């Protein structure tokens, strides 16, 4: 499988990564192990999890057990900052106190002595970014973390972190993990220019909009009973299957039929064709889903079809000015 540099770092990640949020939630240990094994066979080397995934810790545990002795063959990315306790308010965020404890918990659950990429799951405006970055820099110096990244940051927060790292000679974020798909293109307006300026790679999550872009959901039909949009309840349908998105889906299906490819190919291949995307974080619940995602990411749209996609799912106004050279 194709690999790409994660931002302006030396870390090479597979263009399709495995999102492990379903481990411990929709997948048991045996299923998680089967998915991880097949991922490695297919050339996937990038595994993304978080301390909070799988009811606070189970995802990391399942991933660590599934990898076993192969841990050093792959790249593990985890995250901190989401609440890890309903009783202790300090067990979240970007304070030095919490970061130093959170990383130990993740390493223990993963059965590893280091993380390849440690990402701040969300910005913490109550803590100075210098404190957060200095704590992360210390973890890199200690060998517990190789690289650091951010998730769900606004463009100004990415810029603020980059300038703070430069001003204080601290390790800098090399990645930004944000929601991004052909249906949700908001980040092209400000975040893409920011990551191009400061040398971060984008790691899109929800590339299939929780299955809406998988090809399983045809306009006018009920969602499958075993789908996440049904299992997760009404909030999921509201977040991922709003009327405007369903209208766009109708047009995209017509486009796929006209150009002779699948919706899954359009969704994965469109993202893989973006020069600022390093690895697509795609979660699955079965091995066949994984195999289909990997194959779909090989497809690329023609210039004609890209123009048609932009008409159906337009980029934000005043957006992406082009890659920084």
In a domain, 255, yes or no: no
Domain count of the fold of the chain: 1
pLDDT value for 233: 67
In a domain, 261, yes or no: no
Cα torsion 289, 294, 295, 301 to 10°: value is 110
CA atoms of 123 and 81, how far apart (whole Å): 8
pLDDT of 323 over the 70 cut? no
pLDDT value for 232: 64
In a domain, 247, yes or no: no
Helix 263-272 vs helix 243-259: crossing angle, to nearest 10: 90
Do residues 78 and 62 make contact, with C-beta atoms less than 8 angstroms apart? no
Query: Which is it for strands 3-5 and 12-14: parallel, antiparallel or unpaired?
Result: antiparallel
In a domain, 232, yes or no: no
In a domain, 47, yes or no: yes
pLDDT value for 324: 45
CA atoms of 229 and 209, how far apart (whole Å): 10
pLDDT tens string 102-131:
999 999 999 999 999 999 999 999 999 999
Residue numbers annotated as active site? 53
Query: Which is it for strands 145-151 and 115-120: parallel, antiparallel or unpaired?
Result: parallel
pLDDT value for 318: 72
Do residues 282 and 268 make contact, with C-beta atoms less than 8 angstroms apart? yes
pLDDT value for 319: 58
Q: Which two tokens stand for residue 300?
A: 């690329």
pLDDT tens string 44-53:
999 999 999 9
In a domain, 23, yes or no: yes
pLDDT of 81 over the 70 cut? yes
pLDDT tens string 22-31:
999 999 999 9
Band of residue 311 on the pLDDT scale cut at 50, 70, 90: very high
pLDDT value for 151: 97
Average pLDDT over residues 1-10: 96
Band of residue 177 on the pLDDT scale cut at 50, 70, 90: very high
pLDDT of 183 over the 90 cut? yes
Do residues 280 and 271 make contact, with C-beta atoms less than 8 angstroms apart? yes
| Backbone torsions φ then ψ of 17, nearest 5 degrees | -105, 165
What is the CATH number for 168?
A: 3.20.20.100
Q: Which two tokens stand for residue 43?
A: 């050339």
Parent domain of 131 = 3-211+266-300
In a domain, 187, yes or no: yes
The pTM is what? 0.92
pLDDT value for 174: 98
In a domain, 223, yes or no: no
Average pLDDT over residues 246-261: 93
Do residues 201 and 5 make contact, with C-beta atoms less than 8 angstroms apart? yes
């Amino acid at each position: 499988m194709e690999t790409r540099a994660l931002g302006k770092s030396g870390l090479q990640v597979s263009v399709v990564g495995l999102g492990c949020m379903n481990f411990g939630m929709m997948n048991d240990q045996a299923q998680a192990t089967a998915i991880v094994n097949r991922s490695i066979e297919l050339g996937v080397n990038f595994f993304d999890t978080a301390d909070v995934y799988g009811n606070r810790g189970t995802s990391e545990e399942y991933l660590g057990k599934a990898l076993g002795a192969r841990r050093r063959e792959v790249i593990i990315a985890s995250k901190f900052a989401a609440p890890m306790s309903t009783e202790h308010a300090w067990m979240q965020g970007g304070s030095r106190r919490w970061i130093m404890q959170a990383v130990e918990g993740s390493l223990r659950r993963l059965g590893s002595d280091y993380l390849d990429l440690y990402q701040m799951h969300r910005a913490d405006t109550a803590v100075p970014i210098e404190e957060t970055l200095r704590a992360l820099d210390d973890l890199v110096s200690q060998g517990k973390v190789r690289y650091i990244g951010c998730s769900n940051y606004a463009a100004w927060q990415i810029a603020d972190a980059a300038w703070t790292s430069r001003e204080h000679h601290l390790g800098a974020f090399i990645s930004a993990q944000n929601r991004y798909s052909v249906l949700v293109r908001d980040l092209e307006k400000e975040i893409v220019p920011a990551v191009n300026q400061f040398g971060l790679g984008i790691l899109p999550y929800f590339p299939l909009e929780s299955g809406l872009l998988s090809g399983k959901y045809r306009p006018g039909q009920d969602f499958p009973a075993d789908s996440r949009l049904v299992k997760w309840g009404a909030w999921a349908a509201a977040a991922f299957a709003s009327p405007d998105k369903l209208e766009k889906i109708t047009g995209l299906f017509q486009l796929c039929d006209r150009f002779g490819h699948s919706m899954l190919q359009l969704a994965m291949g469109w993202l893989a064709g973006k020069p600022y995307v390093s690895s697509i974080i795609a979660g699955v619940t079965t091995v066949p889903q994984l195999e289909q995602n990997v194959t779909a990411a090989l497809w690329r749209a023609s210039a004609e079809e890209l123009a048609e996609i932009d008409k159906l799912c337009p980029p934000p106004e005043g957006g992406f000015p082009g890659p920084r050279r």
